[in-house]
Amino acid sequence: MLGVGVATACPAEHLAILAQTTLAEAGLDPTALSALATLAAKGAHPAIRALALAWDRPLLGFAPEILDAQPIQTPSARVQAQIGCRAVAEGAALAGAGPGARLLVPRRSAGLATCALALLEVS
């Protein structure tokens, strides 16, 4: 599950490059993803919609409280103050992957975008 976050002015290309780089870090490509996940309020952002469309993956949106309940690794006081959760990309990746998921790639950021990759291992 790829969690994504963007600032309002984030161009689609910036998110696309960061998302591809994040997946490559884990040795994956977009076909390995079941979906993309983000803060519900950001679900209509053009960069996020463009990525979901380009990769032909559904987009899941979560409330700040759901994101904040996740065991994130890189909290941000700025994001907490602005949005009401400690991290968007990590929280969304973990929430989207489901209970027991772990971060495979913690938050990566470039410019106005953030991405994180979570995995739910099924035994």
In this predicted model, what pLDDT tens digit does every residue of 91-108 receive, in sequence order? 999 999 999 999 999 999
Q: What is the tens place of the pLDDT at every residue in 64-123?
A: 999 999 999 999 999 999 998 999 999 999 999 999 999 999 999 998 999 999 998 876
CATH T-level fold of 2-119:
Nucleotidyltransferase; domain 5 (3.30.420)
pLDDT at 122: 76
Mean pLDDT in residue range 8-33: 97
pLDDT at 34: 95
Q: Calculate mean pLDDT across residues 2-13.
A: 98
Express as a percent the part of the chain with pLDDT over 90: 93
Q: With 90 as the cut, is the pLDDT of residue 40 above it?
A: yes
Calpha distance 123→113 (Å, rounded): 33
Distance in angstroms (rounded) separating the CA atoms of residues 37 and 41: 11
Please tell me the predicted confidence (pLDDT) of residue 121. Answer: 80
Distance set, CA 24 to CA 8, 18, 35 (Å): 25, 10, 16
Q: CA 72, 35, 116 angle in degrees (round to 5)?
A: 30
DSSP letter, residue 74: S
Domain range annotation of the chain: 2-119
DSSP, collapsed to helix, strand or coil, labels residue 95 as: helix
Task: Report the DSSP pairing between strands 113-119 and 2-6.
Answer: antiparallel
Q: Does the predicted TM-score (pTM) go above 0.75?
A: yes
pLDDT surpasses 90 at 48: yes
